[in-house]
């Protein structure tokens, strides 16, 4: 599905009440809503260590012998900057009380993220910190909400592994509207123009 089609189907009716079911909008945090100076450290079998930023980690093909260290993500955010186009979508959704909006992060602690939004923007956001980089954990969290009665779900993440995990729920729950969107660093001018019209 093209980016424009996704945005059109998921977000164009955000100001309307969808009465036939409960609405859930889920955002990843790192490299989806904001960027910060944080790294994932990888200790290899030979004893060497490398570091990856979140974008590199999302594409990294891990080996069974790799040991990951997420210590940077257990601290306060270092030099955070919002990703404007996705942040505006978050703001738009938070303005609509008819849906549950959640930031679902692999970080171990929710507090640094909630503090960032409160201190910088005066926003109260609901953050779930899974403390896990396993894509199935994000999928399981969303599935739990499907079982609670949510029937209209959109999920945005910069990790293709997380997107694929959530996509598997579509065949399992054919009567639930599940839309996923892989966030990319660059967005073409046509889609950006469309998003700007949507959120203003």
Evaluate if residue 128 carries a pLDDT over 50.
yes
Give this prediction's pTM: 0.76
Q: Mean pLDDT, to the nearest integer, of 66-73?
A: 87
Contact (Cβ atoms closer than 8 angstroms) between residue 106 and residue 133: yes
The alpha carbon of 76 is separated from its chain's Cα centroid by a whole number of angstroms, namely: 19
pLDDT digits (tens, 9 = 90+) for 23-35: 999 999 999 999 9
Evaluate if residue 17 carries a pLDDT over 50.
no
Phi, psi (deg, nearest 5) at residue 173: -125, 75
CA angle 88, 99, 110 (to 5 degrees): 65
Q: Mean pLDDT, to the nearest integer, of 35-46?
A: 90
Q: Mean pLDDT, to the nearest integer, of 148-174?
A: 96
Evaluate if residue 159 carries a pLDDT over 70.
yes
Q: Mean pLDDT, to the nearest integer, of 133-140?
A: 95
d(Cα 156, Cα 89) in Å, to the nearest integer? 11
Which of 31-35, 66-70, 73-77, 183-187 is the most confident on average?
31-35
d(Cα 47, Cα 120) in Å, to the nearest integer? 40
Contact (Cβ atoms closer than 8 angstroms) between residue 28 and residue 105: yes
Closest CA to 155 of 117, 182, 194: 182
pLDDT digits (tens, 9 = 90+) for 79-105: 899 999 999 999 999 987 788 999 999
Closest CA to 133 of 2, 50, 29, 33: 29
């Amino acid at each position: 599905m093209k980016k424009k089609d996704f945005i059109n189907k998921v977000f164009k009716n955000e100001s309307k009440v969808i009465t036939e079911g409960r609405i859930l909008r889920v955002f990843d945090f790192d490299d989806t809503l904001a960027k910060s100076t944080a790294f994932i450290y990888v200790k290899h079998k030979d004893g060497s260590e490398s570091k990856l930023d979140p974008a590199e980690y999302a594409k990294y093909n891990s080996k069974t012998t790799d040991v990951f260290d997420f210590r940077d993500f257990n601290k306060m955010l270092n030099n955070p900057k919002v990703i404007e186009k996705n942040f505006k979508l978050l703001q738009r959704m938070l303005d609509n009380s008819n849906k549950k909006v959640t930031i679902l992060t692999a970080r171990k602690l929710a507090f640094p993220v909630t503090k960032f939004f409160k201190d910088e923007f005066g926003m109260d956001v609901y953050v779930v910190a899974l403390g896990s980089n396993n894509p199935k954990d994000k999928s399981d969290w969303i599935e739990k909400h499907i079982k609670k009665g949510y029937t209209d779900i959109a999920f945005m993440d910069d990790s293709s592994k997380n997107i694929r995990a959530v996509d598997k729920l579509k065949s399992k729950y054919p009567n639930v509207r599940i839309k996923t969107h892989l966030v990319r660093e660059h967005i073409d001018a046509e889609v950006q123009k469309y998003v700007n019209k949507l959120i203003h």
